[in-house]
């Protein structure tokens, strides 16, 4: 298993394709809480459930002022087809070229398989990693850990 | 092991005695094929344990991929408001291949309930809050897909097969019944 970036440090910035003709960088979201959900692949059944679940839970994330971003090594066109098919309403970023470079920065790349780990990060408004979780690759980690982290982040900032 | 954050209470739909030693809670989606397949299995488990088991059901509709899941859940709640939740629940799962407004209306008509009443309840989202509350208790308790079962507040991560559910329920029953 990979060694995820530790909490309490600044989340490395990145700039990735979010649609075939648009980029998104983490620093553009400074001032918001951000959830990064690294996942192995579009279309695979467990991810399907996980991404579908986050799509459904997104209004709850928003109550905590958090934006969720999915990241996999799939290309932007693949993400576009996948998002359309499953009515995904949050950005899916393409860590496609150079492949897995952002996942590697976060310690969330599976070199042996050439895909992202199933890893979660919650980043605070200042861009610091507040919480992270590395799930076994075949297990959908659900949204409870993310919501617990957002709740304690909110309590801490009060 | 995930714990149920919101134990089964009086706002839940239950079958079986309140003092049953084991409660089996399902989070389900009427349009989910896995839940449809699990439905007769759950009924067999219920028959096997009889009064030793209390069954509860909460909604966990994945509405972005299942276009009828929300309306189906609200239809069950509408029927439930008139005391017919479990019958509607069974009919929805048993007719999963033809979910849609005509079926929902036929179900309430079968119970002698007002079709217009259902149309209004769906249009106004009268039961949407209840469905959303169910969904959120599931999310906070680690429900990551459907069906997800909890046996006495512990998430059950095994297969949704008769043998496996009976084994897990029996193990919990034995645990509860063994003096400390």
What does residue A121 show for φ and ψ, rounded to 5 degrees?
-130, 140
Report CB contact under 8 Å: B64, A86: yes
> Would you list which residues of chain A are within 8 Å, Cβ to Cβ, of chain B?
49-50, 52-53, 55-57, 60, 86-89, 140-144, 147
pLDDT at B141 over 90: yes
The model's pLDDT over A118-131, given as tens digits with 9 standing for 90+, comes to: 999 999 999 999 99
Q: How close does chain B come to A144, measured CA to CA in Å?
A: 5
Range of the domain at B141: 13-177
The partner residue sitting opposite A60, judged by closest CB among B62, B136, B143, is B136
The model's pLDDT over B5-64, given as tens digits with 9 standing for 90+, comes to: 999 999 999 999 999 999 999 999 999 999 999 999 999 999 999 999 999 999 999 999
pLDDT band at A45 (very low <50, low <70, confident <90, very high): confident
Report CB contact under 8 Å: A53, B144: yes
Between A122 and A2, where is the model more confident?
A: A122
Two tokens, residue A127:
């861009």
R_g (Cα) of chain B, nearest Å: 16
Sequence ranges of the domains in chain A:
33-157
Within its chain, how far is the Cα of A137 from the centroid?
14
pLDDT band at A48 (very low <50, low <70, confident <90, very high): low
Question: Is residue B159 a part of any domain in this protein?
Answer: yes
Residue B17 to residues A13, B14, B20, B112, B176, Cα–Cα distance (Å): 56, 8, 5, 27, 16
Task: Please indicate whether residue A47 is annotated as part of the active site.
Answer: yes
At the top level of CATH, which class does the domain A33-157 belong to?
A: alpha beta
pLDDT > 90: percent of chain B: 96
pLDDT band at A157 (very low <50, low <70, confident <90, very high): confident
Q: How many domains does chain B have?
A: 1
The model's pLDDT over A80-113, given as tens digits with 9 standing for 90+, comes to: 999 999 999 999 999 999 999 999 999 999 999 9
Question: Is residue B6 a part of any domain in this protein?
Answer: no
pLDDT at A140 over 60: yes
The residue to which tokens 């084991």 are assigned: B22
List the CATH number of the domain containing B168. 3.40.30.10
What does residue B22 show for φ and ψ, rounded to 5 degrees?
-130, 135
Q: How close does chain B come to A142, measured CA to CA in Å?
A: 4
Q: How close does chain B come to A91, measured CA to CA in Å?
A: 16
Report CB contact under 8 Å: B144, A56: no
Two tokens, residue A48:
């399907």
The per-residue pLDDT for B88 is 98
| Total-model pTM | 0.93
The partner residue sitting opposite A86, judged by closest CB among B2, B65, B142, is B65
pLDDT at A46 over 70: no
What does residue A96 show for φ and ψ, rounded to 5 degrees?
-100, -35
pLDDT at A47 over 60: no
């Amino acid at each position: 298993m990979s060694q995820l970036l530790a909490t309490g440090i600044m989340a490395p910035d990145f700039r990735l394709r979010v649609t075939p003709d648009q980029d998104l960088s983490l620093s553009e979201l400074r001032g918001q809480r951000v959830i990064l959900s690294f996942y192995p692949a579009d279309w695979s059944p467990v991810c399907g459930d996980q991404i579908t679940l986050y799509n459904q839970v997104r209004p709850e994330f928003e109550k905590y002022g958090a934006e969720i971003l999915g990241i996999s090594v799939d290309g932007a066109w693949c993400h576009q087809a996948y998002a359309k098919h499953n009515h995904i309403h949050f950005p899916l970023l393409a860590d496609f070229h150079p492949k897995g470079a952002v996942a590697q920065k976060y310690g969330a790349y599976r070199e042996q398989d050439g895909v992202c780990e199933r890893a979660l990060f919650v980043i605070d408004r200042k861009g610091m990693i507040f919480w992270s979780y590395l799930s076994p690759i075949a297990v959908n980690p659900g949204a409870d850990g993310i919501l617990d982290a957002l709740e304690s982040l909110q309590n801490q900032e009060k | 092991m995930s714990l149920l954050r919101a134990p089964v209470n009086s706002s839940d739909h239950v079958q079986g005695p309140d003092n049953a030693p084991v409660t089996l809670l399902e989070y389900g989606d009427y349009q989910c094929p896995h839940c449809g397949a699990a439905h007769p299995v759950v009924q067999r488990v219920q028959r096997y344990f009889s009064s030793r088991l209390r069954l509860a059901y909460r909604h966990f509709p994945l509405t972005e991929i299942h276009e009828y899941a929300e309306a189906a859940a609200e239809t069950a709640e509408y029927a439930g408001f008139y005391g017919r939740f479990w019958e509607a629940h069974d009919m929805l799962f048993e007719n999963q291949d033809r979910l849609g407004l005509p079926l929902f209306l036929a179900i309430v008509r079968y119970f002698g309930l007002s079709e217009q009443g259902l149309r209004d309840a769906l249009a106004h989202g009268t039961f949407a809050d209840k469905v959303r509350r169910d969904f959120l208790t599931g999310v906070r308790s680690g429900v990551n897909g459907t069906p997800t079962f909890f046996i006495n507040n512990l998430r059950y991560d095994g297969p949704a097969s008769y043998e496996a559910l009976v084994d897990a329920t029996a193990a919990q029953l034995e645990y509860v019944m063994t003096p400390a």
